[in-house]
Amino acid sequence: MRSLPLPLALTARLSPVVVLAAAGWALSSGPLAAPQAAAHKPAEEKTETRAASAPSTATATVSKAYSAAPAPCDSVAEKTIESLVPGAKARGKEIPSTDTKLRRTCSWNALKGYDYRWLDVSYEVMESDEAAQKAYQEHTGRKSGGGAVPGLGDSAYSVVTLTTEDKQETREGVVIARASNALVTITYNGSDFESKKAPGTDTINKGAIKAAKEAVAALEADEG
């Protein structure tokens, strides 16, 4: 097999150190990071005044379907990893998080021959359905051109984009799903370094949605 120089951007993806740093940045302050105000805003307190002679207050209790993020590296079946990221280790690599109870991400990536694939599965658990819904709307609002994914969580959105750098194409699919007070985000992309082309839109979109369905199911099963 002949060696083939990789474009600068994709060479960076293949470096484990840079891969982890980039993924950590994306989670903490990048375009997929949930707004801090939504993630840490305390539950609003509602008060009710009864008789004037005996005033009292009652604090509303926020009901949360999910209290912790599941293990992301166990969220997608081994068979699915083999299909979406050929050559990757089934277990994947969990990305360090500042709060593993609320935010967890697992990453798989591999170069098999000239074909490169990358998959991220991320969970974020928030303090209420309302906070998760607000974050969901903000995330999807920044990613135009996609569409709804029926039957996935309470609401889900999928978008596929194509980028070209140094004549090398990369196609990336992102699926964002909300299930009660939790967000599940899937990032799946690929390139062919021999043809300089990217996988087809359907291939990337269907792969991202398949991973998203399994990740949401793992969230529901973990809490159950």
Spatial separation of the C-alpha atoms in residues 134 and 94, rounded to whole Å: 26
Spatial separation of the C-alpha atoms in residues 28 and 35, rounded to whole Å: 9
Quickly state the pLDDT bin for 162 (edges 50, 70, 90): very high
What value does the mean pLDDT of the chain take? 80
DSSP string, the chain: ----PPPHHHHHHH-HHHHHHHHHHHHHTSTTSPPHHHHHPPPPP------TTS----PPPPP-S-SS---GGGSS-HHHHHHHSTTS-TT-EEEP-S-TTTEEEEEEEEEETTEEEEEEEEEEE-SSHHHHHHHHHHHHHTSTT-EE-TTSSSEEEEEEEEEEETTEEEEEEEEEEEETTEEEEEEEEEEETTT-----HHHHHHHHHHHHHHHHHHHHHHH-
Alpha carbon 40 to its chain's center: 19
Model pTM above 0.85: no
Which of 39-48, 63-72, 140-149, 183-192 is predicted with the least confidence, judged by mean pLDDT?
39-48
Spatial separation of the C-alpha atoms in residues 113 and 103, rounded to whole Å: 33
What is the per-residue pLDDT across 145-154, written as a single tens digit (0 to 9) for each?
Answer: 899 999 999 9
What is the per-residue pLDDT across 75-130, written as a single tens digit (0 to 9) for each?
Answer: 999 999 999 999 999 999 999 998 989 999 999 999 999 999 999 999 999 999 99
Quickly state the pLDDT bin for 38 (edges 50, 70, 90): very low
